[in-house]
Every structure is written in structure tokens, then in C-alpha cells.
Amino acid sequence: MPGRRSVVDYALQRRALLADVRAGRAGLFEVCDASPYLSRAAKYHGEPTDTPCPLCRRERLTQVSYVYGDGLGAVSGQAKGQAELARMDAAQDEFSVYTVEVCRGCGWNHLVLSYVLGAEPVPGRSPRRTRRRAATE
């Protein structure tokens, strides 16, 4: 997505966690703990990948993106697909996106990426939602 800013990639943390599992320092029950809500979000809102699960190797991973932001109201905290993220990027003030990979087979899940989308705040200018409200009043 072209509008990504403040990108944080959690690949090194993921690699370290998988090394801990393989070395026996972390158990499968600790890392294969996807909540029912996350599993359901992966099923209905997730983007399938070609990457096999690093633990069970039976299933392909699914990526789920969650959005958070002050200006999102009730939408904040919901899972969104890539098409929805692109629409929100063009229409919303700044908000954060957190992408989690999930194995729907064994329950492996890990934060993969976080970034910011939406209109960048301009000092001295009120947010878009304030201008929309003022225009409708």
C-alpha cells in the first residue's frame, strides 16, 4: 500500500520466538493461542498467503489487519481487508494498522507489521471529521 508511514516490521521478533520454540524455551501452548475472535477474523476478513505455518506446516497463514484511531469511532479495533484499507486511507484522518499472521489450523499467531495510513496531520489545521461536521451543521 503506497501511503504507509511509520512502518515497523516484527520479523526479528518472530524469528527469535520461533527459535525459542525450536530450542524448547517456549512451548507450543504459549505461541499457538489464537483467540476465537482472531480465528474468526482470519476466516472472514483475512488475506490468505502462500506462506506455510512455521509450526504445523500443514496450513497456509492468513494475515488479518486491524485498524485503530481516534477519528475512526466504532470502526476502531475492527479487522479490515486490503480494499477497505485503501478506501479508508483516502478518506480518513491518520490511523494505525496492525497486521497479524494466523494459522487457522494450529492457532499460531504473531504481529507481523504495523504502520500508519490516512491523511497526515497538518499543524494548525483541524482534522477532517471536524470540517465535515461543521459543513453539515
Provide the domain limits for residue 51: 5-136
More reliable by pLDDT, 71 or 16: 16
CA 118/CA 98 separation, integer angstroms: 14
57: CB partners within 8 A, 6+ apart: none
CA 8/CA 29 separation, integer angstroms: 26
Largest CA distance in the chain: 62
CA 7/CA 26 separation, integer angstroms: 28
pTM confidence score: 0.84
Structurally, the chain folds into a number of domains equal to 1
Does position 1 have pLDDT exceeding 70, yes or no? Answer: no
Question: Each residue of 101-125: pLDDT tens digit?
Answer: 999 999 999 999 999 998 887 676 6
Q: Report which of 22, 46, 58 is spatially closest to residue 102, judged by C-alpha positions.
A: 46
